[in-house]
Each structure stands twice: as structure tokens, then as C-alpha cells.
Structure 1
Amino acid sequence: MGQEDRPILVLDSGVGGLTVLREVRFKLPFERLVYVLDDAGFPYGGWEEGPLTDRLIALVGKQIDAHDPKAILIACNTAFTLAGEALRKAFPDRTFVGTVPAIKPAAERTRSGLVSVLATPGTVRRAYTRDLIANYAQHCHVRLVGSDRLAEMTEAHLRGETVSEAELKAETSACFLEESDGRRTDVVVLACTHYPFLTNRFREVAPWPVDWLDPAEAIARQLSRVVTNRSLGPSALPDIAVFTSGQAEPAARRLMAGFGLSVPG
């Protein structure tokens, strides 16, 4: 494989990483992309830490052997906050870019000092997340809100299934805090790459307007900084989506095609 055809690998448990892949295309328009959708392991939020780390190391190793990527983007907060360090140790010759909760920019942006982080339960539990708060948001009241269902609701939404307002309110209402002095939550960090697909729905059910902070553009910008061996023109090979289950339903194939990805086989 020529240098110009070595891809950037983007990995997530489901379709959430597409929100980041979309931004990567803007920043690095000539790079070939391989999107690895670990649908056989979805959702990551309910996994125990040890088995999920082992799964991610094995999966990334398999994809390195198959595609020899020039960079690996872990487009999943749950995966990277857990296994980012282990992946770098397992593959020290590879360039990794991760996805972590955008707590630092939220702390810089808030006026009220009340910030919520909407995430999977796995991301909420991570020491990594609490370290981000301690390092960058000591002057804020940061509320961690773990949703068991939103990632799966996002996938259902993208399949054209109905997701009700009541369901969305149940998963997001804890993000909104109002203090006795009149201060209200004004920034909600979307700490799962699935969630930006539902931002317009979140706005509809929110009790007041907030800044829904999507880190996808910042992640793509970081990737563009570390990819030094850039392609100078379009690759002769297509951008592809790899389903770890080996099965892609017609609706999933159509969704991938909408993001410019073909599904081999």
C-alpha cells in the first residue's frame, strides 16, 4: 500500500463517530478514511473495564494488521477515557488521537459557573473524567449525568424510529440545575459522540436555552495537527465502513453511504 493510500482509522462502538468523521473530512479532505463500527460490542457504556480494554486492544490490533493506518482516532469518550493509555502502550509506534469530555472548553465558556456533562455511565465513572474537572473546572459546579439509553436512542433515531419527547426529557432533565440565586446551567457537554445527532431534539425539550458543546471540530483539528504525512490528493481507494459483526443491514448501508462510506461485501 502506498503512503498516499494509508488511511486514517476512526473507531467507535456505533454510529456516533460519524459526527467526528464528518469534521475530519473538512480538516483533511484528501485523507482516506476507514470507519470501524464495533456493532458486535455496542454499547460500550455497560461493559466492565477489564473486558472492554482487552476488546479494544484486540480490535485495534486487528485493524492495524488489516489497514496499516497512519493515525488512529478513537471517536468514543467511553473507550478512550478507559483504554487510551493502554492502547498507546500496546502500539507505541502508532499515532492515536482520542475523544475526551470537553470539560476545559466548557469551563472557559460558562458564565453561570454551572456546567453539566452528559455522558454514558462508563464515562461518568472514569477517574479520567474527574481528573479533567479537578484540573480545568475547579471554579465551576460540574454535574455528571450518565445516561443508560441515549446512545441506543440515537441509533434508533437514525434508523427512522420514533424517539419521544418524554424519553429525551427523562435522559436529559438532570442536566439542568437552577440555584437559589438565579444562576442556571448554561453549558451541557455532549460527552458521547452519538449525542450531537440529537442536539436539535435536545433543544426542543430543554427547559431553557443552553450551549450544547460538541467537541467534534476540536477533535478533528487535533488530528490535523498530528498527521504530518498528509496525502496531497484523493486516494484511488474508497473510504469504507467496517462492521465488526460482519453484517450491515440495508438501512445501515444507506447511512454509511450518506457519509461517503462504502461497506465491503
Structure 2
Amino acid sequence: MNNNNPIGLVDSGAGGLTVVKQAINRIPNEQFIFIGDTQRMPYGPKSVEEVISYTFQMANFLIEQKNIKLLVIACNTATARALDKLQQQLPIPVIGVIQAGAVAAQHATKNHLIGIIATEGTVQSNAYPNALKQIDINVETFQQSEPEFVQIVESNQYHSLTAKQIVAAHLANFKVQKIDTLVLGCTHFPLLSSFIKDAVGHHVKLVDSGFETVQIIEQTLIDQNLSSFVKHDRSEDIFYTTADPDRFDVIATDWLAPEMPLDVRHLKIIGSGSMQYLQE
């Protein structure tokens, strides 16, 4: 394995860019290649089998075509459904976003009352409550699925007054439950963090599972001697989307605030679900 090979990240859409942003800040010497499967998002309502299949398709493309040295599942639903299988079957380290978020939430809470907002798939899997109970049996969790939040981000409406109003209405019940910690159990949700904090109260600690995961990525690179020997230029990063690259570029540019244009490419889904980059 070449230490200078890129790190791959996959998500159901643009939300995983929140993980990319944290990774760029914390481990800037690395090259990152990201796939957002925007054409088939959201993953939350999809069957377990579909989510596993889609995640393997993205992983296989990155391994076979881009020779990545490490894979990050920057999607909570895909982590909940597919992480174990990918770790068992892929020849490289695979990191998900749930365990790190659970550990951070347990460290943050003082009253053992933790809220979780996520997609339907992540909520149905009970991945966060199960992970938290394994850490601290006294933790009480309150879960809500928020698929509309994903749509707000993907439609580039996350700065709007309408988004603020929707978030406030959806999260009002968490004040009744008196949580002191809220897990953002979808990588799209940090883009709504200011509205979320207003909705639940500024005393509530928001746990960004993607941010916490980057620390695990960094440690894995060190532990497995995979850290890059050279400093990669940000122009080497590649961002694939399975839907409209222009629309994806708008969100990615807004969130990552790059000093140079992003290399955004369209990744075509072929036949039964293999992936191919067709230069346009």
C-alpha cells in the first residue's frame, strides 16, 4: 500500500462534505476523493440490502479506480447498515461515523439524557442507542428521524428562513425531554447546526459524529503507518456525484469555501449498479 494514495469517503449525498471539511483541516497533507450518491439519496428509507449494495458499489469504484488506502463511510445510515460487511470484505481499513459520535456524546452529557436526530434507516437500526448503552447503561436516549432536514440541505436551502422555521418546529419536543446533548446522527445536519442550536437551546451540546470520526481517521493513519509522506495540494481532491455536478458544486463550494475551484465530476451508475466516470 502506497502511503501517498488517497483517502476515500462515501455518502448518500452532499452531507459527507462536512466530514471532508474537518478532515482537510485536521490532516491537510492527505488527498481526498469523495462520492456523493445524490441520484439515489436519501438512503434512510431504503432497504438494508439496497444500502449495502450502494455502499459496496462506491467502495469498489474507489478501490479499483482510485486505489484508495482507507475508506470512510461518511453516512450514518450506510455505517449502520454496511460497516461490518465492508470491514470484513474489503482489503483496506474502513471507518464509520457512529461509534465516534456515541463516545463523544457519552463524554459530553452530564444528566445522561441524550437526543439523537438521524435518518429513518439510522433510527430504525438503533445503532446510536445500542452504542451508547454499551458505553453507559444509565444513558437514556430520545430518537427522531428527520428526513426533511436532508432534503433542505440537498436543495441548498439550509440558509433560509423556511429551514430555520422547520427545524424549530421539528425539534421543539427535545426541550420537554430536558436533554443536555444532541447527536447530529446524519452528516447533512451540521450544515443546519446554528438553527438546531436555536431550536434545542444553546446549553445543549451538539455532537457532530463526522467531526469526531476525523480523530479516528487520523489515529488509524498513524497506527497503520499510512500517513502521507508528501503534502497534497487541494487541487488533487476529487468530488464525484451521481446526479447533477453543477448543483453539487454549488453546495460543495459554499460549504468548503475553497481558495480554488473544486474538481467536481459526474459518476454514472451503469446497468445493475456498477459505477463509471465518463469524462464530459
Q: TM-score, normalising length from structure 1? A: 0.87
Q: How many equivalent pairs are there?
A: 256
Does residue 1:230 correspond to 2:240, yes or no? no
| 1:67, distance to aligned residue in structure 2 (A) | 0.5
- The correspondence of residues 16-55 of structure 1 with structure 2, limited to 5 A, is 16-55=15-54
1:137 and 1:175 mapped to 2: Cα distance?
21
**Aligned counterparts of 2:128 and 2:108: Cα–Cα separation in 1:** 18
CA distances 1:20-51 after superposition (whole Å, capped 9, x unpaired): 11111122111111111111221111101112
Q: Give the aligned partner of residue 7 of structure 2.
A: 8
2:141 corresponds to which letter in structure 1?
V
Residue 138 (structure 1) aligned with residue 137 (structure 2): yes
Larger mean Cα displacement after TM superposition, 193-202 or 154-163: 154-163
Deviation, structure 1 residue 100: 0.5
Structure 2 residue aligned with 1:239: 237
1:76 to partner: Cα distance: 0.7
Give the alignment of 1:13-162 within 5 angstroms. Answer: 13-91=12-90, 93-100=91-98, 102-157=101-156
CA contact (8 A) 1:116 1:176 kept: no
- Structure 1 residues 66, 155: CA separation in 2 closer, same or farther (over 3 Å shift)? same
Amino acid at match of 1:254: V
Report deviation, 1:4. 5.7
Determine whether 1:248 maps to 2:245.
Answer: yes
Task: Name which of structure 1's ranges 74-83 and 52-61 shifts more when overlaid on structure 2.
Answer: 52-61
Distance 1:137 1:153, change over 3 A: farther
Q: CA deviation at 1:84?
A: 0.2
**Local SS of the residue matching 2:50:** helix
Q: Distance in 2 between matches of 1:216 and 1:128?
A: 15
* Structure 2 counterpart of 1:181: none
Distance 1:252 1:58, change over 3 A: closer
Aligned match of 2:211 = 217
Tell me, yes or no, if the aligned pair for 1:118 and 1:175 is still in contact at 8 Å. no
CA distance in 2, matches of 1:138, 1:218: 22
Structure 1 range deviating more: 211-220 or 192-201: 211-220
Change (3 A) 1:186 1:240: same
* The 10-residue stretch of structure 1 (158-167 or 80-89) with the greater mean CA deviation from structure 2: 158-167
Q: What is the rounded CA distance, in whole Å, between the counterparts of 1:206 and 1:35 in structure 2?
A: 31
Which residue is 1:189 aligned to?
183
Which sits farther off after the overlay, 25-34 or 227-236?
A: 227-236
Q: Distance in 2 between matches of 1:134 and 1:204?
A: 28
Would the alpha carbon gap of residues 152 and 21 (structure 1) be closer, same or farther in structure 2, given more than 3 Å must change? same
1:11 positional shift: 0.9
Aligned to 2:268: none
String of CA shifts for 1:217-249, please: whole Å, max 9, x gaps. Answer: 32111101112222222336611101123x312
Deviation at 1:81, TM superposition (A): 1.1
Point out where structure 2 has 5 or more consecutive residues left out of the alignment.
266-279
What is the CA deviation profile of residues 136-188 of structure 1, one whole-angstrom value per residue up to 9, with x for unaligned ones? 2321221111112111112234576653433112322233334xxxxx21111
Match status 1:262 vs 2:263: yes
CA distance in 1, matches of 2:250, 2:163: 24
CA positional deviation for 1:5: 4.7
